Structure 1
Amino acid sequence: MGKIIAIANQKGGVGKTTTTVNLAASLGVLEKKVLLIDADPQANASSGLGIDVENISAGTYQLLEHSVSAQDAVIESSAPNVSVIPAHIDLVAIEIELVDKENREYMLKQALEEIREQYDYILIDCAPSLGLLTLNALTAADSVVIPIQCEYFALEGLGKLLNTIKSVQKIHNASLDIEGLLLTMYDSRLRLSNQVVEEVQKHFHDMVFETIIQRNVKLSEAPSFGESIINYDATSKGATNYLHLAQEIIKKNS
């Protein structure tokens, strides 16, 4: 049975999409069958895996509307063993369109039932907000990875996200688990980076992944080529970090 993991944080710029794309590619390289669902209207996870988002006929929008089946929305990506259900800027409208629907928080969960068995991991790249799209992702997911950047306001907003997760557990998805907190954009030369790591580890102990994603130029270059860091530069620090993370997740779930 495929494990569904949402990558969520309502704060933008914390490495959510970078993590979704490169974790998916790393799991794929480690011979896991992966489906990435792009639930962010910016569609960066889709284009980051070489998909031309302007020319897709079906994606997350149609999936949430239930106008296509999950099977028909899947596209193969440039990364081995990784398929994608892409997003499009149209996805912005879905929050308004779903507002009056019954069971609107369960649209994604229902849509994924039929294909869940076909994958080892299903990763959902969430939008940087706590709206209906993210709520759908959290309701459909088994667990959440929360990226936290090693910068000054790192823990700001984390309480809010943890409260949202708690209320989702209470109302929509009792089995939702926190897969782990992932420290991103780490620069060992900066005292601040080291302080954030210490603080997060002190507060959250074993909820924090051992793997820390370091700042890496190659990581920020890869998406402009429509490639994961594994395809773009498999020897880079970024690739090593994400492969470690993938191994950590596989080990945790085996």
Structure 2
Amino acid sequence: MVAVANQKGGVGKTTTSVNLAAALAAAGQSVLLVDLDPQGNASTGLGLERAARRGGTYALLAHADTPEHLIQSTDIDNLALIPADPDLAGAEIELAAAARREYQLREALAPLRESRHYRVIIIDCPPSLGLLTLNGLVAAESVLVPLQCEFFALEGISQLTRTIDRVSRSLNPGLRLDGIVLTMYDRRNNLSDLVAADARGFFGEKVYETVIPRNIRISEAPSHGKPVLTYDPRSAGTAAYLRLAEEFAARHQNRDTSSP
């Protein structure tokens, strides 16, 4: 179970969640995407309009329904979705008064974790470090961080890594940093190279070799309710996310085989 998180908005977090999930599904893996962002962009990006959504992650957090009942199919083989329902926007306030408030999502998703029906579960977290993101981090085994190739990028990521460390120490001892994905990479821009070099210098092998370029097809695809893989299979954005999925799968395979 992987949480995709970055407290900064506009970094390609939801885009990476949707397209990585679609690319893994295209490779034959059974994938579930959990939309934990009240904006619901991951749900929209997979073609599920707000009017068509029934219960979703709010009902999951409130333990008002089972995850199996809340899962919806998508147009992509092997890819299922628990959408963000409209009531999710008020969940932060309600969670504040709940007992074991940080564990609500973990406990709700426990049956799916135990059944191992889905090879990969991806949680798309909100662009904040509030209670919803905290629930995503406590539920997950690892955190994937999209990092846009812009000037203030590394400044914000240090705060997130400190949060991951705190959650690992006090709430979820198994949590680890899965890796960092460089997004919005522009080869024509020296700044992209500088940010990439700084990230690799600081985080080393935690930074994925695959970089996600600035690509108009990636930007257009959500408005059509599709991942870039189905919107334009021949685009540079599609090729990048397919490579990312291969690298992601290889990393996790290596971890699985090295575990006792």
TM-score class, shorter-chain normalisation, is over 0.9
Q: Aligned residue for 2:137?
A: 138
Distance 2:107 2:117 in 1: 15
Secondary structure, counterpart of 1:162 in structure 2: helix
1:97 and 2:94 aligned: yes
In 1, are the aligned partners of 2:20 and 2:245 still within 8 Å (CA)?
yes
Alpha-carbon deviations, 1:82-112, whole Å to 9, x = none? 1000003321100111111111111111111
Question: 1:38 — aligned with what?
Answer: 35
Hey, what does 1:8 align to over in structure 2? 5
Matches within 5 A, 1:45-60: 45-60=42-57
Q: Is the 8 A contact 2:18 2:42 kept in 1?
A: yes
How far off its partner does 1:178 sit?
0.8
Could you state the TM-score of these two structures normalised by the residue count of structure 1?
0.97
Q: Does 1:203 align with 2:227?
A: no
Query: TM-score normalised to the size of structure 2?
Result: 0.95
1:26-175 correspondence runs (5 A): 26-116=23-113, 117-175=116-174
Which residue of structure 2 aligns with residue 239 of structure 1?
Answer: 238
How far does residue 156 in structure 1 lie from its aligned partner after superposition?
Answer: 2.0
Quick check: 1:187–1:214 contact (8 Å CA) kept in 2? Answer: yes
Shift in Å at residue 118 of structure 1? Answer: 1.0
Cα drift, residue 80 of structure 1:
1.7
SS at match of 2:182: strand
Percent of matched pairs sharing the same residue: 48
1:53 maps to a residue whose letter is: R
The one-letter code matched in structure 2 to 1:64 is L
Alpha-carbon distance, 1:79 to partner:
1.8
Q: Which runs of 5+ in 2 are unaligned?
A: 254-260
Please give the alpha-carbon distance, in whole angstroms, between the structure 2 residues aligned to 1:178 and 1:241: 21
Report if the CA contact (8 A) 1:59-1:87 is conserved: yes
Instruction: Report if the CA contact (8 A) 1:42-1:88 is conserved.
Output: no
SS, match of residue 128 in structure 2: coil
CA distance in 2, matches of 1:220, 1:158: 23
- For residues 98 and 202 of structure 1, what CA distance do their matches in structure 2 show? 38
In 2, Cα distance between equivalents of 1:83 and 1:42: 19
Amino acid at match of 1:199: D
Give the deviation of 1:218 after TM superposition.
0.1
Determine the structure 2 residue equivalent to 1:249.
248
Structure 1 counterpart SS, 2:146: strand
Q: Does the 8 Å contact 2:143/2:178 carry over to 1?
A: yes
**Please, what is the CA RMSD of the aligned residues?**
0.8
Give the distance between the partners of 1:135 and 1:154, measured in 2 at CA.
21
Segments ≥4 residues shifted beyond 4 Å:
none
Corresponding residue SS for 1:130: coil
Q: Which amino acid aligns with 1:24?
A: A
Distance in 1 between residues matched to 2:185 and 2:30, nearest whole Å? 29
- Of 25-34 and 95-104, more deviation after overlay is shown by 95-104
Q: How many aligned residue pairs are there?
A: 251
What is the CA–CA distance in structure 1 between the aligned matches of 2:14 and 2:213, rounded to whole Å?
15
Report the counterpart of residue 213 of structure 1 in structure 2. 212
* SS of equivalent to 1:178: strand
